[in-house]
């Protein structure tokens, strides 16, 4: 069983070994989370060369490429190369993901639904990326942009209560979530959604 975590990549050095379409997707994902990305591969797709802020070295990878790296993704079509990158990462104490290669991973990547700061991750422990993707697509059809707005309302109210010196742990947030808040958000009635939230929380604090 794997231990799920959310990594803070902002400003951290990340290496992608490989220059194809899969490597491109990995680079885009790392950049979206604030990672400082370097790519090493003998040949790369043109899209990689057009990405701002991504350092690209067009040559075979070397073990010393892992020096100073916080996270590494091996995304080549050569299992031997992916294994060598993983082994080097093990020696250097660096986390390595072998794309679609769970035997050469110290961590695996879930399939993710993102709605603002809300993230829902689906993982099969690397056993079936196809199933993870299929489930993610089903969730995307059910979890719309209104959930991002719901998160903003909840977080805003929590911040307000904490700023006033009140504890937020004992309040009945679940009753608010079980109310018609989400339906109100879907219709664009944010004022009443916020009012419903505050009413539910006030009732639980009495």
Distance CA 143, CA 135 (A): 12
Distance from C-alpha of 114 to C-alpha of 147, rounded to nearest angstrom: 10
- Residues 91, 156: one domain? no
DSSP for 76-132, please give it: -S-HHHHHHHHHHHHHHT-EEEETT-GGG-SS---EEEEETTEEEEE--TTS-HHHH
Q: Give residue 120's pLDDT band: very low, low, confident or very high (50, 70, 90).
A: very high
pLDDT exceeds cutoff 60 at 56: yes
Question: Of 63, 85, 109, at which residue does a domain stop?
Answer: 109
Contacts by 185-192 with C-beta closer than 8 Å and gap 24+? 185/146, 185/149, 185/150, 185/153, 186/144, 186/146, 190/149, 190/153
HSE-up (13 A, CA, CB side) for residue 113: 18
State the pLDDT at residue 125.
86
Q: Are strands 13-17 and 36-40 parallel, antiparallel or unpaired?
A: parallel
In this prediction, residue 99 carries a pLDDT of 87
> Do residues 101 and 164 both lie within one domain?
no
In a domain, 93, yes or no: yes
For residue 2, what pLDDT is reported?
87
Residue where a domain terminates, one of 90, 109, 128: 109
**What order do you get walking across the sheet with 71-74 strand by strand?**
55-57, 36-40, 13-17, 71-74, 95-98
Residue among 112, 174, 107, 172 at smallest CA distance from 140? 112
Same domain, 160 and 80: no
Query: 44, 22 in Cβ contact below 8 A?
Result: no
Question: How much is the pTM?
Answer: 0.84
Instruction: Please state the domain count of the chain.
Output: 2
Is residue 138 pLDDT above 80, yes or no? yes
The pLDDT of residue 205 is 65
Whether residue 163 lies inside any domain: the answer is: yes
Terminal CA-CA length for the chain: 42
Range of the domain at 72: 13-109
pLDDT of residue 126: 83
CA atoms within 13 A on the CB side of 73: 24
> 103 and 162 share a domain?
no
Q: Is residue 140 part of a domain?
A: no
Do 37 and 100 share a domain, yes or no?
A: yes
- pLDDT above 80 (res 26): yes
**Average pLDDT, integer, range 157-179:** 93
């Amino acid at each position: 069983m794997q231990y799920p975590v959310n990594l803070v990549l902002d400003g951290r050095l990340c290496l992608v070994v490989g220059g194809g379409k899969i490597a491109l997707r990995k680079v885009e994902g790392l950049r979206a989370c604030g990672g400082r990305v370097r790519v090493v591969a003998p040949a790369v797709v043109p899209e990689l060369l057009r990405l701002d802020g991504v350092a690209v070295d067009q040559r075979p990878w070397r073990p010393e490429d892992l020096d100073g790296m916080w996270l590494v993704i091996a995304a080549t079509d050569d299992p031997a190369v992916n294994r060598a990158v993983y082994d080097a990462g093990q020696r250097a104490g660096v986390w390595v993901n072998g794309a679609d290669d769970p035997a050469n991973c110290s961590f695996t990547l879930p399939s993710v639904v993102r709605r603002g700061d809300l993230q829902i991750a689906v993982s099969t422990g690397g056993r079936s990326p196809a199933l993870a993707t299929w489930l993610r697509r089903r969730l995307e059809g059910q979890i719309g942009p209104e959930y991002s707005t719901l998160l903003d309302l909840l977080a805003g109210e929590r911040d307000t209560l904490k700023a006033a010196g009140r504890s937020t742990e004992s309040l009945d947030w679940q009753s608010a979530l079980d109310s018609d808040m989400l339906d109100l958000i879907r219709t664009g009635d944010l004022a009443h959604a916020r009012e419903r939230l505050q009413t539910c929380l006030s009732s639980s604090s009495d």
